[in-house]
């Protein structure tokens, strides 16, 4: 029977480039005609945001924001290396990368022997041309990441029999290589460049739901006069939570040690119209964090989709399957960290759920685990 480790972290693109570029999002946002004139002036921002902006446009805060995040992520990588998983399942959102107008499923599981990705081929919007990454990589650097087709088919086969008919794909439709939610997660877990040899199983979630096409997966609607109708919604928190529970039950009975990762920041400024898209819903994120820290994971399951969208917390749907898996296993987090920010588009969180020891004396409930792949 397979042990399972749970991890939660962010894939915030701002960490890829130097600190002086980290606040580009808000600088771009306040040029939108949809932002009130008074909020284009930092003096009218909330006090915590003004402190982060300070007199250097957020430069000193960016360094602090980065250091706090990678302190937590370093602990996750150490736990991952101690665990030595056979498989790493990553839940991440699609931001108009593979989910386009031709097909937008609620989820998509990718199946491949390996993934070749150029994560720096496209600069983060607002970052000046020629800006190096913090690791000094060339724009065309290719990362090769191992996949695990056998485990992917095993999981999908059993999910189908558990009431989850998840779409799957053997190739990407519109994006070369792994989407940013997956490759950024790996870049950050390998921040020290030790290398990454763990096979991954990427599962995209249509977390943006009603804003996916309208926003082109980001903040493009801020700069459009088109008032488009909302797109069909994302999966509900309850459905995402139950998916995680099913994944935990299946992988617990599998022959593989599995790490399950929920990857995202939480509330995003560009998804929070009640704050005119300038800062995220920090107070809501603090409530979600209190629930995480106390192990009250069913509180996430019981959230309404309307509550999540009102707070701009659509990407929390990437963490919720991981939370469902941990709830199914009866695990509470052994380490959590909350990295607050009004300025950097989103708050970040880091969490570690220790593995559940394999119960070798138990009789497996899923037959043919090895043969099914």
Question: Which residues constitute the domain of residue 101?
Answer: 4-353
Residue 96: which pLDDT band, with cuts at 50, 70 and 90?
confident
Q: Let me know if residue 268 belongs to a domain.
A: yes
CA dihedral sign, ordered 296, 300, 302, 308: positive
- Evaluate if residue 57 carries a pLDDT over 60: yes
The structure tokens 């982060």 sit at 52
Question: C-alpha angle with apex 349: 334 to 201, nearest 5 degrees?
Answer: 85
Based on the structure, what is the number of domains in the chain? 1
Residue 333: which pLDDT band, with cuts at 50, 70 and 90?
very high
Q: Decide: pTM greater than 0.85.
A: yes
Q: Let me know if residue 366 belongs to a domain.
A: no
pLDDT one-digit tens code per residue, 108-154: 999 999 999 999 998 888 899 989 999 999 999 999 999 999 999 99
Q: Let me know if residue 361 belongs to a domain.
A: no
Closest CA to 339 of 59, 70, 60: 70
Q: Let me know if residue 264 belongs to a domain.
A: yes
Q: What is the CATH number of the domain that holds 295?
A: 3.40.830.10
pLDDT one-digit tens code per residue, 157-191: 999 999 999 999 998 887 778 999 999 999 999 99
Residue 364's pLDDT is what?
A: 40
Q: Which two tokens stand for residue 322?
A: 């991981």
Residue 97: which pLDDT band, with cuts at 50, 70 and 90?
confident
Q: Which two tokens stand for residue 41?
A: 């002036």
Question: How many Å apart are CA 173 and CA 175, to the nearest integer?
Answer: 6
Q: Let me know if residue 146 belongs to a domain.
A: yes
Q: Let me know if residue 370 belongs to a domain.
A: no
CA dihedral sign, ordered 104, 313, 263, 132: positive
Say which residues have a Cβ less than 8 Å from residue 75's Cβ, sequence separation at least 6: 335, 350, 352
Q: Let me know if residue 112 belongs to a domain.
A: yes
Q: Let me know if residue 365 belongs to a domain.
A: no
Percent of the residues in the chain that have a pLDDT greater than 70, as a whole number: 91
């Amino acid at each position: 029977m397979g042990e399972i480790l749970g991890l939660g972290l962010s894939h915030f693109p701002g960490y890829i480039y130097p600190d002086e570029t980290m606040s580009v999002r808000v600088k771009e946002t306040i040029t939108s005609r949809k932002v009130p004139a008074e909020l284009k002036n930092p003096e009218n921002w909330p006090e915590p945001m003004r402190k982060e902006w300070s007199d250097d446009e957020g430069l000193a805060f960016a360094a602090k924001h980065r250091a706090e995040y990678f302190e937590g992520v370093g602990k996750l990588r150490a736990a991952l290396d101690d665990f030595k998983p056979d498989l790493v399942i990553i839940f991440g959102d699609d931001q108009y990368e593979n989910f386009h107008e031709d097909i937008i499923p609620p989820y998509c599981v990718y199946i491949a022997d390996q993934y070749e990705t150029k994560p720096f081929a496209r600069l983060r919007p607002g970052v000046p041309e020629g800006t190096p990454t913090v690791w000094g990589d060339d724009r065309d650097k290719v990362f090769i990441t191992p996949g695990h087709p056998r485990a992917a088919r095993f999981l999908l086969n059993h999910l189908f029999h558990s009431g989850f008919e998840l779409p799957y794909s053997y190739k990407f439709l519109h994006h070369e290589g792994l989407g940013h939610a997956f490759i950024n997660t790996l870049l950050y877990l390998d921040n020290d460049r030790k290398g990454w040899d763990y096979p991954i199983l990427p599962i995209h979630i249509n977390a943006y739901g009603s804003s996916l096409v309208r926003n082109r997966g980001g903040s493009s609607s801020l700069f459009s006069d088109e008032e488009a109708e909302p797109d069909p919604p994302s999966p509900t928190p309850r459905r995402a939570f139950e998916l995680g529970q099913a994944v935990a039950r299946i992988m617990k009975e599998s022959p593989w040690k599995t790490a399950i990762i929920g990857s995202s920041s939480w509330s995003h400024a560009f998804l929070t119209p009640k704050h005119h898209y300038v800062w995220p819903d920090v107070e809501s994120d603090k409530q979600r964090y209190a629930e995480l820290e106390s192990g009250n994971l069913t509180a996430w399951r019981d959230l309404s989709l309307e509550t999540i969208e009102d707070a701009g917390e659509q990407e929390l749907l990437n963490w919720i399957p991981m939370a469902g898996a941990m709830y199914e296993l009866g695990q509470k987090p052994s380490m959590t960290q909350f990295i607050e920010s009004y300025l950097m588009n989103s708050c970040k969180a880091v969490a570690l759920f220790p593995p559940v020891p394999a119960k070798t004396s138990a009789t497996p409930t899923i037959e043919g685990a090895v043969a099914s792949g």
